[in-house]
């Protein structure tokens, strides 16, 4: 059995962690470094930092925040936002990130995935896909969910893997922050279409949703955010529910 991961996402804007619904209505929830340390202590398997406004505002990703966080973390750290070139990927990795998430820039120039994978290895390259249902099709959106594209999410996921992505971070914009459960049909469709790990994102409201993402959505990992930031549940409680469902999970250090 493969170990199933619980990943905590910290959406960062202006050096603060924020959370909203469907990428809008953002509210401040804390300091990114402090929160990352806290969730590691509680048993999170990985931390993801996403600078949710970097691409839209053409800012570099939060290298300094990544550096300060990486100095204190022992679990893998992924950062994304504003990554536009292989050099940006290199800078992120040198700042201490284990993986780099690429979204908007990959859509604009898919060769970036190939270049990054060739230079640093597929294990460092995460293709981040934000999808929303439009006229019965899961369409890819870029720039923090602001810009629609004509890309089909499943087809795009397969292309990302073919170009060198070692992992897919799949976010349902429709479910983001709603806490009604992950988009299981979307997650399963993408997970069944690619041969790399898929992280389910968008919609976690309780531990059962996390289990569903893995058992029914065929995801390799589940990403959570708001329910932890707001104290609805804890990492420990989520992982215990995963164990109760007979999923193999890493024990906290």
Per-residue pLDDT for 70 more than 70?
yes
CA distances from 249 to 23, 189, 209 (A): 30, 24, 16
Q: Give 190's DSSP letter.
A: H
**Is 253 part of any domain?**
no
What is the average per-residue pLDDT within 79-95?
A: 91
What is the band of 22 on the pLDDT scale with cuts at 50, 70, 90? low
Residue 48 bridge partners (DSSP): 9, 78
Of 166, 221, 235, the closest CA to residue 4 belongs to: 221
- Residue 95: domain span: 5-244
Catalytic residues: 11, 130
Q: How far apart are CA 183 and CA 28, in angstroms?
A: 26
**Is 161 part of any domain?**
yes
Number of structural domains the chain divides into: 1
Residue 149 bridge partners (DSSP): none
- Are 44 and 69 in contact by the 8 Å Cβ rule? The answer is no
What is the band of 26 on the pLDDT scale with cuts at 50, 70, 90? low
What is the average per-residue pLDDT within 48-74?
A: 75
**Is 249 part of any domain?**
no
What is the band of 54 on the pLDDT scale with cuts at 50, 70, 90? low
pLDDT, residue 144, reads 80
**Is 54 part of any domain?**
yes
- 3-state class (DSSP) for residue 47: strand
Span 97-156, pLDDT tens digits: 999 999 999 999 999 999 999 999 999 999 999 999 999 999 999 988 889 999 999 999
**Is 252 part of any domain?**
no
Per-residue pLDDT for 56 more than 50?
no
When the pLDDT of each residue in the chain is averaged and rounded to a whole number, the result is: 91
pLDDT, residue 145, reads 85
Per-residue pLDDT for 59 more than 90?
no
Per-residue pLDDT for 37 more than 70?
yes
pLDDT, residue 203, reads 95
**CATH code, 200:** 3.20.20.70
What is the average per-residue pLDDT within 245-252?
A: 91
- 3-state class (DSSP) for residue 145: coil
**Is 127 part of any domain?**
yes
**Is 188 part of any domain?**
yes
Angle between helices 32-42 and 235-244 (to 10 degrees): 40
Per-residue pLDDT for 58 more than 50?
no
| E strand spans, 104-214 | 125-134, 137-142, 147-152, 167-172, 198-201
- 3-state class (DSSP) for residue 96: coil
CA distances from 46 to 75, 136, 224 (A): 6, 33, 11
**Is 250 part of any domain?**
no
Span 190-243, pLDDT tens digits: 999 999 999 999 999 999 999 999 999 999 999 999 899 889 999 999 999 999
């Amino acid at each position: 059995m493969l170990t199933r991961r619980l990943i905590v996402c910290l959406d960062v804007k202006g050096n603060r962690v924020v959370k909203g619904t469907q990428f809008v209505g953002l509210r401040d929830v804390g300091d990114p470094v402090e929160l990352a340390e806290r969730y590691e202590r509680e048993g999170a398997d990985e931390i993801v930092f996403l600078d949710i406004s970097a691409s839209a505002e053409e800012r570099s990703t939060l290298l300094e925040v990544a550096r300060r966080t990486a100095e204190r973390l022992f679990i893998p750290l992924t950062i994304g936002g504003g990554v536009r070139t292989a050099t940006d990927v290199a800078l992120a990795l040198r700042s201490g990130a284990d993986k780099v998430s690429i979204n908007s820039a990959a859509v604009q120039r898919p060769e970036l995935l190939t270049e990054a994978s060739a230079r640093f290895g597929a294990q460092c390259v995460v293709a981040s896909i934000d999808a929303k249902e439009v006229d019965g099709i899961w369409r890819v959106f870029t720039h923090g969910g602001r810009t629609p594209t004509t890309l089909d999410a499943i087809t795009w996921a397969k292309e990302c893997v073919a170009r060198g992505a070692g992992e897919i971070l799949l976010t349902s914009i429709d479910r983001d922050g709603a806490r009604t459960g992950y988009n299981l049909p979307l997650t399963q469709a993408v997970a069944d279409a690619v041969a790399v790990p898929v992280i389910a994102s968008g919609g976690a409201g309780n531990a059962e949703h996390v289990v569903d993402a893995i058992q029914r959505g065929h995801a390799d990992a589940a990403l959570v955010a708001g329910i932890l930031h707001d104290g609805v549940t804890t990492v420990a409680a989520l992982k215990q529910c995963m164990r109760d469902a007979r999923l193999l999970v890493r024990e906290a250090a």
